[in-house]
Amino acid sequence: ANAFLAQRVSSINSISALCEATGADVNEISRAVGIDQRIGRRFLNSSIGFGGSCFQKDILNLVYLCETYGLHECAEYWNQVIVMNDYQKKRFTEKMVSSMFNTVTGKKIAILGYAFKKDTGDVRETPSMFVVRDLVLEQAKIHVFDPQVKREDMWIEMDYTCGMTEKTHPGLDKAVTTSPDAYSACDGAHAFAVLTEWDEFKTLDFERIYKGMAKPAFVFDGRNILDHAKLREIGFEVHAIGKPDPNKFSDL
């Protein structure tokens, strides 16, 4: 069951990349597909990818089972679900860097949400970790706020999954700051990225955040939970999963 659910996530995420390239809206695609009762609406929300301890583990078990019985094409099919999930995370980070004038070196970036889903402190295989890792490697200054995630748990999972520690990457501890709230995380930042769909992020005082950020102020919505039109009215340059790129499509 987990493999089929993960397949749905990767399927809609593959469509999100096409939507960004063509100027379409992935939410409209999800809505249209979900109306079909044979498919249904669940697990059709595009995002930076799935995380947690179950989806990837169960898919890899299925891949192993297929390989064991010589079903190489079947194994490749299911492995592609993970490949697409990894691509989505990498694509999100690359879009952040390219949108911010092709460099984030020395720039403060706020990460709002680190858990793999809201209402938990679980960081196992969280997509946020891979985004943070890649931004650190780009020499950005990361400030993370998550209502439930502990800094110690961030580092344990970063070491276990990515093999990234202060020892292997000197300066890592200083490169990543854990902030007490979203406002301090965003203060002076060049950009903030929403990576976990915490409800409280929807109701932040974005005018206050905008005033305290460096300009131009970038928003990267990895969960599509924010009001993008309102943010643009305030002055933000907004980029979101499966939505038209404001630098390519002038009718936003």
- Give CA–CA dist 121/81, Å, rounded: 25
A 10 A CB-CB count for 183 gives 15
Strand partners, 219: 192, 238
Asked if 139 and 106 count as a contact pair (C-beta separation under 8 A), the reply is: yes
In this structure, are strands 237-240 and 218-221 parallel, antiparallel, or unpaired?
parallel
**Catalytic residue flag (residue 54):** yes
A 10 A CB-CB count for 99 gives 18
- Give CA–CA dist 20/10, Å, rounded: 16
- Alpha-helical regions (H) of the chain: 2-22, 26-35, 55-68, 72-99, 127-137, 151-157, 172-175, 182-186, 206-212, 228-234
* Spatial CB neighbours of 252, under 8 Å, sequence gap ≥ 6: 232, 244, 246
Q: Which two tokens stand for residue 109?
A: 């970036």
What's the sign of the alpha-carbon dihedral 34, 37, 40, 41?
positive
From 54, 66, 74, 186, active-site residue: 54
CA dihedral (95, 98, 101, 106) in degrees, to 10, reads 80
List active site positions: 54
